[in-house]
Amino acid sequence: MAAATAVALAAGMAGCSNDSGETPKSVASKAGEAVESATAAAASEMAKIKGGLDAKADVKAGPTEAENNRLTNEITATNPTDKAADYTVLVNWKDSSGNLLDSTVVSIDAVPPGGTKSAKATTHRDLSGTPPAEIGQAVRH
């Protein structure tokens, strides 16, 4: 029954458009392009880091909050070394099905030895709900 309803809904929406003439398919396509663009930009930022160490275990994401239709999370790095360190962190937001919604890169500079420091990660686009942020990658350098 649910499958039949989904098919009927999709068929019924095929001819629909919003006030600017966009169909659900074109809106979905634009959303996919936005995610691809954000992902590519994030990957490019992470690739710029040279000589860093994997530090995913040093970084945690706080709870997701909505702020002006964007999602934000406090990202905290704990530096276990005896020297100050900078962290570059790839943050991902995924829906309950595991589909990537958005990505961003956050820099947390000058985390003191044995100390913690935080920065705010914010989505690039408006998202609904409050999916948790995931640490995709973290580099200590």
Q: Is residue 105 part of a domain?
A: yes
Q: Is residue 6 part of a domain?
A: no
Higher pLDDT, 28 or 102: 102
Q: Tell me the CB-side half-sphere exposure of residue 63, using CA atoms within 13 A.
A: 3
Q: Which residue range(s) make up the domain with 83? A: 32-140
Q: Is residue 14 part of a domain?
A: no
Encode pLDDT of 44-57 as tens digits.
777 888 889 999 99
Q: What is the CATH number of the domain that holds 43?
A: 2.60.40
CA distances, 34 to each of 23, 27, 29, 30, 124 (Å): 17, 11, 9, 6, 9
The structural domain count of the chain equals: 1
Q: What is the model's pTM?
A: 0.72
Pull the structure tokens for residue 105. 């890169």
Q: Is residue 20 part of a domain?
A: no
Distance CA 100, CA 70 (A): 15
Pull the structure tokens for residue 25. 């398919």
Q: Is residue 12 part of a domain?
A: no
Q: Is residue 95 part of a domain?
A: yes
Encode pLDDT of 90-136 as tens digits.
999 999 999 999 999 999 999 999 999 999 999 999 998 999 999 99
Q: Is residue 3 part of a domain?
A: no
Are the CB atoms for 112 and 79 separated by under 8 Å?
yes
Among 67, 135, 82, residue whose Cα is nearest residue 112? 82
